[in-house]
Every structure is written in structure tokens, then in C-alpha cells.
Amino acid sequence: MKFSALSVFTQGLGGNQGWPEQWRSPEPKSAYDAIIVGAGGHGLATAYYMAKEHGMRNIAVLEKGWLGGGNTGRNTTIVRSNYLWEESEGIYEHAMKLWAGLAHELNYNVMYSPRGVMMLAHNIHDVQVFKRHVHANRLAGIDNEWLTAEQAKDFCPLLNIEKNIRYPVIGASLQRRGGTARHDAVAWGYARGADRLGVDIIQNCEVTGIRRDASGAVSGVETSKGFIATRRIGVVVAGNTSVVMAMAGVRMPLESYPLQALVSEPVKPMMPCVVMSNTVHAYMSQSDKGEMVIGAGTDAYTSYSQTGGLHIATHTLDAICELFPAVRRLRMLRSWGGIVDVTPDRSPIIGTTPVPGLFVNCGWGTGGFKATPGSGHVFADLVARGEPNAIAAPFTMDRFRTGRLIDEAAAAAVAH
């Protein structure tokens, strides 16, 4: 076996020298049938499904750092499919169905926990928006229901529904199948599965250039380990898509923003579900280790910083302490920032590019983790066949030319 989860640990400590050979990343071959750039959840899922469902074994996943060390390890683990537009419902519900059996599929515990995702309404506009979501989801066969403030508190006893707070809770929508999964376990599970099927997962191998032949099609990638020939390249590098795609002369309709989150010191179980508030832009759940996992919003400026502005986290904690007074005395254990690629309509891009043989999966913004299985599944189909299937077809870059946008941000104020 070329890979194990232990190599993630050893890479994080600066390499895997001195460890047994079976735990080391393989050296790249001179040529592959396909290369996936990015060993996060989406990239590893893509390689796994290409091998499993399309019989492609001569595949390499290239990662400039270590497996799962980017945005996959920098998110708040939320899983849900209660989006408004039919196109979004399609991709996220596809992912939800895969989440339900993923641990069995991969023979690896990804800690999927359908504990429920509750979205709070603080004003009449929120009520109208979320009731619209409930009706749209039910029409699509997706579970979602409306709760009164009292029912919301019954479901999450920590919630403060007093009328005298700045943003009083007047109702909530609830997707009971929603919940959480462990982010790094998802990457490790897909990596192990892909490895068993013969995929090479090559860490510490940065892509520095994309080479094209006389016809303009891709012919391979320049890397820190040398040139690797291939005729198919799938780029899945959250936060750095524009940089990698520029190597092939492709300009992307993306902006990159820091997205912040933090966790508290661990405590005994007290938070039974995920609670989100779009109006104050804060959300919280509790990890299996007991930490309160708290998500904030994106910074207002474009940046590749992985820290972000302090005022964003401060605003979020103010809101969390008001909505959940019981957590006011908890100490914060650590905070972090990821970099998210954002499209003009806050929905992803999954499609071909003007360069033959070059495919891209990007622009998930804050919704990438929950889509991981579905994203990898449809992107594998795209790279293997050369054209998107029915689920992926609405998310091609062509929509920015035709105007057929999928604006989930306008629909719900935020697309977390």
C-alpha cells in the first residue's frame, strides 16, 4: 500500500523520511491517463470515483502540501441539502444520498452524523425566505420543515428565544437529515479507497506549469518533481484555482476571500444539532471531541490570507453568546481561516474549459465540504467522459455568458 493516514501526520511534521516504505508517497510516473490537481476531499473523491466507476487506474492526484491540508481541514463540517434552486438541490441532494452510505462504501468511519441543521429566522423576511425553501425542498422530495420558536428551543434547548435580544428568534427551518461529518476523515477515507484501486497520491508535488501542445490541448504538467505527461487534467484546488488555471492561459470568473472559523475548549455534550443564523452570520455545532465549532463569515476584501480580520470573529462571537448564553464562559481553543473561491452567483463551476483536456471544479465558496461526495462523483464522470452529466450541466462556465445564473446567495443571503 502506497499511502496511509499516518503519512498525513508525518508530512505535517515536515516529511516522511525514516518511515516504512509503504507509508511514503510514490514517485510520479512519466505519464498518466489523467491527473487530478489537489488532494483535498473533492480531488480525492474524483480520483476514487474515476477508478471505481470508470475503470481508470493510471491516475495521479498531485498535492503541493499534504493530503487534506487545505480547505478540507479548515471548515465547520456541516452537511445539508436544503438549498432553494433546482440546480443546487440536484448537486447537494446527490451528495446527501452519498453521505448516508459513505462510511460503508469506503470502509472508513467518516463520522457522518445526521443530527439536524436548523436555520433561524429573526424577522419577517427570514420567515418568508425559509418557508419558501421548505416548500421548494418538499416539491423536490427533500426533507425540510418549519418550526415555531418554541419548537426550535425544544429541538435545541441551548437556544435563547427571549423577545428582548437584538435578534429575537421567531421561527426556524429544520432539515433533520442534515448534520456533520469529520472533514479530515472524509479525505483519508477517499484516499484509502483510491489507493486500493491503484491511484497514485503524490504529496509535496506542486504543479508549477501546465504544458500545451501545438493544437492547444494539454500535454502534461510541470511539477516540483519534474514533468508529467497526461492528456486529461482535472483542477480541484480550492482557494487557488485562478493561479493554477492561469498556467494554461485560462482566466476564471472568481474572487478569493478569507473565511474564518474557531473552536472552543472541549466540554461534555450539550449542543444536539447544527444551528445557523444568516441574519447575524453565525453558526455553531459541537464536535465529537466536545469542542463548540463556530463559523463566521467571509471577509469583505479579496485576499489569500489565512487569518482574516479580527472584527469578523468578534462579531460572530457576540452573536453566538447572545443566541446561546450557556457558552459565554467557554474559552476559545483556536481559530483559523480558509480561502474560498467565489463566483459571481455564489454557485460552483464544474465543467470543461477552452483548453482541450483541461477540466475545472471550483467556486464552491462556503458550500464545498457538504458537496464533497456529489462533487467528486460528477466531476469524475466529466473528466472520464469529457462532458458533464445532467447534475453537473447547469454549473458550466457558459452560464456567465448566457445569463442562466444560479444565485443561491441572493436566495438565502449566504450559501453556507
Q: Write the DSSP symbol of residue 27.
A: P
pLDDT for 344 beyond 50: yes
Residue among 14, 5, 13 at smallest CA distance from 39: 5
Q: Helix or strand or coil: residue 173?
A: strand
Contact, 367 vs 283, CB < 8 A? no
Instruction: For strands 255-264 and 332-342, give the pairing.
Output: antiparallel
pLDDT-based confidence at residue 153 (cuts at 50, 70, 90): very high
Global pTM value: 0.93
Q: What angle do CA 386, 390, 396 make, to 5 degrees?
A: 60
Region for 92 from its dihedrals, namely left if φ exceeds 0, alpha if ψ lies in -120 to 50, beta otherwise = alpha
Q: What percentage of the chain carries pLDDT values higher than 70?
A: 92
Domain with CATH 3.30.9.10 in the chain: 117-176+255-342
Q: Which residues contact 23 (CB under 8 A, 6 or more apart)?
A: 3, 4, 6, 7, 10, 16
User: Within 10 A of 226 (CB to CB), how many other CB atoms are there?
Assistant: 11
pLDDT-based confidence at residue 12 (cuts at 50, 70, 90): very low
Distance CA 364, CA 379 (A): 13
Q: What angle do CA 270, 274, 280 make, to 5 degrees?
A: 110
Domain with CATH 3.50.50.60 in the chain: 5-74+183-253+345-412
117-176+255-342: which CATH number, 3.30.420.40, 3.40.50.360, 3.40.1190.20, 3.30.9.10? Answer: 3.30.9.10
Find the DSSP H helices in 283-371.
310-323
Q: Facing residues of 35 across strands? A: 60, 233
292 grid coordinates? 463548540
Distance CA 290, CA 286 (A): 6
Contact, 313 vs 266, CB < 8 A? no
Please compute Rg for the chain using Cα positions. Answer: 21
Q: Give CA separation, 392 vs 235, 294, 375, in Å.
A: 15, 31, 8
Contact, 285 vs 333, CB < 8 A? no
pLDDT, position 10: 37
pLDDT tens digit string along 124-140? 999 999 999 999 999 99
Q: Give CA separation, 336 vs 41, 296, 313, 333, in Å.
A: 19, 10, 10, 11
Residue among 55, 39, 46 at smallest CA distance from 2: 39
Contact, 201 vs 194, CB < 8 A? yes
225 grid coordinates? 518533481
pLDDT tens digit string along 200-238? 999 999 999 999 999 999 999 999 999 999 999 999 999
pLDDT, position 2: 53
pLDDT-based confidence at residue 4 (cuts at 50, 70, 90): very low
Distance CA 95, CA 371 (A): 5
Q: Helix or strand or coil: residue 146?
A: strand
In the CATH scheme, what architecture does the domain 5-74+183-253+345-412 have? 3-Layer(bba) Sandwich (3.50)
Helices 372-385 and 41-54 meet at what angle, rounded to 10?
50
